[in-house]
Amino acid sequence: MKDYTIFDIVGPNMIGPSSSHTAGACRLGNIAYKIAEKSIKEVTFLLHGSFANTYRGHGTDKALVGGILGFDTDDERIKDSFQIAKAKGINFKFLAEYLGDVHSNTVKIIITKEDNTTVEILGSSIGGGNIVVTEINGLKLEFTGEYTTLIISHIDKPGMVSKVTAVLSEYQINIAFMRVYRHEKGQNAFMIIETDDEINNNLVIKIKDIEYVKKAYLINI
Amino acid sequence: MNFTKASELLELCNKHNKKIFEIMIERESFLTDMSKEDIIAKMQISLDIMKDSIEKGLTEDIKSMGGLIGGDAKKVMERSKTSRSVCGTLMSRAISRSMAVLEVNASMGKIVAAPTAGASGILPGVIITIGEEFKIEDRELVNGLITASTIGMLISKNATVAGAEGGCQAETGSAAAMAAAAVVELMDGTPKMALDAAAICIKNILGLVCDPIAGLVEVPCESRNAIGAANALISAEMALSGVKSIIPFDEVIDTMYKVGSSLPMELRETALGGLAMTPTGKKLQKQIFDN
């Protein structure tokens, strides 16, 4: 946990009514939006626990859809997110579902992209607007978005870590935390890199150019 | 520079002959590399959102998501202008504004969590009213918000500001303590007085449970934001008069945490106890979620 700053306490600036059920939900939607590379045709939200029981009264549903539209937690359009999504031709639905031994405020977001591929994100809103993502496309991992986060989807090959960190080093980016996950040896893998410094798009493009890197997303919330 | 206890903060204030907000700005610059000017400018944005949310709550027709609140802030403001105010108009304006922000929050409007969304009315209600009453400029009110954040930081670090962990004392109690300390510094009280005011605030509502109807940030949250504003003003008045907190701030916060942890789960934001489980509370819950 980072040390509390002034604006962690007087803040976040947000659309009410609840930091965990509204602001946190919006952040989870927003992360899914970035991981789906802003291309969204259809979304199903599987709501677990307290999210499933109280989502209407807290506007959790509107906040999730707002996130999927790329809205930040303080965007006043969240209130009208259903209409905005419909106008954009995005279909969405909410289903209550038991998702196992997870945090009480958990959602699984299943996105069908415009190219008909799907992306699945599992994440929880853990209080005060803070969130944790615990699964992408069935692969267990963990990041909070508290730091600037770079998510790299790649093939599990020797030398991948050194190629990626070489680019970060070239741009003078300090890595706070870094983890590597994979389905199986030589198969799909993810790198999660949390940094102290802001990352610009040129760096992301350069990482995408590395052989065996499939995708790279920047999460900055 | 950093500190984690009020006693350390007080030492820093005394050593450098600075107010709490000045020490907090130095800490922030140290932690985040932000300049003093950028910190002030960023907090001005928060102050503007606070003002907008008050304005919205007192002029627009508000209906909360759960349908339990909306329009009450206006009633209190109206009475303070037209009838003999029981609390005096300063207090009733602060109460009304705190309620206004909470109503805006409950209707998916834009607010500043301070320290949480559920307690977001108290700090703006108090600060804006004190600013209005004593003609204090925005640049000073911003300093007050930074004083407030210092208190909230100390509570977050040593206890909790989450209702789910510590009950309502942790939410509206912390917000009131933050606002009280801010008022003391804005009225030229010493750092020690500000910490005494914050400690008195928490002591006043120690043990307050979190039992919202249907689990929504509506009832009794709105009136608890009103009493939070009153608590802040009362505590600030006492501390500015020279009344001390016999139990020091750090010990009060440790106690608040222990009391919060010993509250049963039913009384910590689960809507399984307290007012939420009254016959009327249960009926309303059914109405809201069956719709």
Residue A221 is predicted with a pLDDT of: 67
Per-residue pLDDT tens digits for B19-68: 999 999 999 999 988 999 999 999 999 999 999 999 999 999 999 999 99
Q: Residue A80 — very low, low, confident or very high, per pLDDT cuts 50/70/90?
A: very high
Range A137-160 average pLDDT: 92
Final residue of a structural domain among A93, A112, A143 = A143
Kindly state whether residues A128 and A167 are assigned to the same domain.
Answer: no
- A57 and B289 within 8 Å at the Cβ level: the answer is yes
Range B63-75 average pLDDT: 96
Handedness of CA B53, B58, B59, B65 (dihedral sign): positive
How much of chain B exceeds pLDDT 70, in percent? 100
Residue A1 is predicted with a pLDDT of: 53
Parallel, antiparallel, or unpaired for β A148-155 and A188-195?
antiparallel
Kindly state whether residues A41 and A115 are assigned to the same domain.
Answer: yes
Kindly state whether residues A60 and A121 are assigned to the same domain.
Answer: yes
Per-residue pLDDT tens digits for B108-124: 999 999 999 999 999 99
Q: Which residue of chain A has the CA closest to B50?
A: A13
Kindly state whether residues A79 and A96 are assigned to the same domain.
Answer: yes
Q: Which range marks the domain in which residue A196 is found? A: 148-219
Looking at per-residue pLDDT, the higher value among B255 and A201 belongs to: B255
Tell the residue number behind the tokens 């009391």, with chain if given. B259
Handedness of CA B136, B141, B147, B149 (dihedral sign): positive
**Mean pLDDT, all residues of chain A:** 93
In a domain, A81, yes or no: yes
Q: Residue A196 — very low, low, confident or very high, per pLDDT cuts 50/70/90?
A: confident
Integer Cα distance of A196 and B89 in angstroms: 48
In a domain, A1, yes or no: no
Kindly state whether residues A162 and A78 are assigned to the same domain.
Answer: no
CATH of the domain at A194: 3.30.70.260
CA-CA distances (angstroms) from residue B62 to B72, B101, B108, B119? 9, 11, 10, 18
Final residue of a structural domain among A143, A178, A199 = A143
Range A63-91 average pLDDT: 97
Residue B144 is predicted with a pLDDT of: 98
Integer Cα distance of A130 and A145 in angstroms: 8
Kindly state whether residues A134 and A170 are assigned to the same domain.
Answer: no
Kindly state whether residues A90 and A181 are assigned to the same domain.
Answer: no
Per-residue pLDDT tens digits for A82-141: 999 999 999 999 999 999 999 889 999 999 999 999 999 999 998 878 899 999 999 899
Mutate to test the interface with A, among B29, B33, B65, B253 (most CBs of A within 10 A): B65
CA-CA distances (angstroms) from residue A101 to A48, A95, A106, B23, B190? 10, 18, 10, 44, 50
Per-residue pLDDT tens digits for B175-217: 999 999 999 999 999 999 999 999 999 999 999 999 999 999 9
Kindly state whether residues A179 and A199 are assigned to the same domain.
Answer: yes
Q: Residue A219 — very low, low, confident or very high, per pLDDT cuts 50/70/90?
A: confident
Q: Which residue of chain B has the CA closest to A73?
A: B110
CA-CA distances (angstroms) from residue A96 to A31, A93, B148, B249, B255? 21, 10, 40, 44, 39
Kindly state whether residues A113 and A34 are assigned to the same domain.
Answer: yes
In a domain, A200, yes or no: yes
Q: Report how many domains make up chain A.
A: 2
**Any CB–CB contact under 8 A between B1 and chain A?**
no
Integer Cα distance of A87 and A164 in angstroms: 40
Cβ proximity of B50 and B124 under 8 Å:
yes
**Any CB–CB contact under 8 A between A18 and chain B?**
yes
Q: Residue B164 — very low, low, confident or very high, per pLDDT cuts 50/70/90?
A: confident
Kindly state whether residues A155 and A78 are assigned to the same domain.
Answer: no
Residue A2 is predicted with a pLDDT of: 67
CATH of the domain at A54: 3.30.1330.90
Residue B24 CB contacts under 8 Å (≥ 6 apart), including other chains? A6, B146, B147, B149, B150, B153
Kindly state whether residues A170 and A201 are assigned to the same domain.
Answer: yes
CB contacts under 8 A, A 91-150 vs B, are 127-129
The CATH classification number of B6-290 equals 1.10.4100
- B85 CA: distance to closest CA in chain A (Å): 30
Range B264-276 average pLDDT: 93
Cβ proximity of A74 and B110 under 8 Å:
yes
SS3 call for A71: coil
Nearest partner of A150 among A113, A171, A178, A122, judged by Cα: A178
